[in-house]
Amino acid sequence: MLELLILYALNKQDNTLYGLKKLIATHYGEVSIPSHGALFPALKRLENENLITVRKKLSSGGKRYTYYSISGDTSDFFRKKFMEFNNAKSETLDSFLMWMKIRLIVIDMLDKNFLEEFKEKCLLKTNFYKKRIEEKLNDKYIELTRIQRTMIIQYEKELEEYEKLLERL
């Protein structure tokens, strides 16, 4: 998902590794504060896919900077990454909510044709998690503490907010 944030940021302007790190942390820090160790391999993957280009520049002081820019049509890659959903067996509710936040941040890069498909997939996943929460809250064999119950209800409320947001798209 870091690739989505990188493409989104580079769609607005070319940038250096440090500039991307700072921009993502500043503007999207609630979902990702990437390290150089995470950004560099993601940039390399995007470069290998011919989605970004790398150019070296010398500053007036003689320091070498590496700039990254979008090199062409990223729509197919963006759509593919955007529409990827983890298998329900390996995905946690936390990871689903985090990926939802990232997707919603960059949603304006998604073609209008795929918006309905995205909404449908997200609403299905949201309903899946809401049913699991309901089952857990109503299972007489699961003894939840007050704090556990409160946390689960908070998840339920967050899912309902995403549902409302998705329906407004």
Residue 40 clears pLDDT 80, i.e. is over it:
yes
Rounded to an integer, the average pLDDT of 94-104 is: 87
Confidence of residue 48 (pLDDT cuts 50, 70, 90): very high
Residue 90 clears pLDDT 80, i.e. is over it:
no
What is the structure's pLDDT at 35? Answer: 87
What is the structure's pLDDT at 88? Answer: 56
Residue 106 clears pLDDT 90, i.e. is over it:
no
Q: pLDDT > 70: what percent of the chain?
A: 97
Question: Which three-class secondary structure string do you get for the chain?
Answer: CHHHHHHHHHHHCCEEHHHHHHHHHHHHCCCCCCCHHHHHHHHHHHHHCCCEEEEEEECCCCCEEEEEEECCCCHHHHHHHHHCCCCCCCCCHHHHHHHHHHHHHCHHHCCHHHHHHHHHHHHHHHHHHHHHHHHHHHCCCCCCCHHHHHHHHHHHHHHHHHHHHHHHC
